[in-house]
A and B are shown apart, each in its own frame.
Chain A
């Protein structure tokens, strides 16, 4: 079975621009989470979605937004990019709901560079 997939793999943007990152979860998984990993640090939680509803939000500005589609894929949007937004953006999926399974599976990430 395919794992979590993310697109694009790499992205270079200019300050002030907007970016959209995409994620497809593992088949059967209904929950998607987004994390930001700055070089040399552990991932930081941005958003969690389950069944198209936001279930959690980390300490990120309103420039960050996300949504989940009926097929459980997800998009992360970042407006008015800053140099500090340069990072590896990781998507993770998990079964969610009452499955009893708690682990999150990560995709390979999207490397965003803001110049």
Chain B
């Protein structure tokens, strides 16, 4: 069975500081991995995806994530946080290219001025 664990339900950083949101996955088959962002009272927006190509994936808004098979991790990073990055972030895994998404519980990112 596939699963996703997001470490830290709430992360707080200062504006301009490094953002690191952690995601570990469990999958019996090569996974497809995704990061989504959700702003209050909105749907989910795709930030980036890993689909077995390059292990370092670049997404929108300056975010990137690195797939590490040995650590079963897919952590999300951004070098310099901006106030507009404050939102909830979800890591998700799917079984195969057409499979449904299994989400983690989410990490709420706060950015202090």
Interface residue ranges, A against B (CB under 8 Å): 4, 31, 33, 35, 41-45, 48, 50, 55-56, 58, 90, 92, 94, 96, 100, 102-109, 111
Contacts and interface: CB of A to CB of B under 8 A. Distances in A.
Specify the main secondary structure of chain B where it touches its partner. strand
A45 B102 contact: yes
A105 B46 contact: yes
A90 B51 contact: no
Interface residues of B, number: 24
Interface in B33-52: 34, 36, 41-46, 49, 51
B28 interface: no
Given A42-B90, A102-B51, A108 B43 contact: yes
B101 A104 contact: yes
B106 A90 contact: no
Contacts of B103: 42-44
Contacts of B106: 41-42
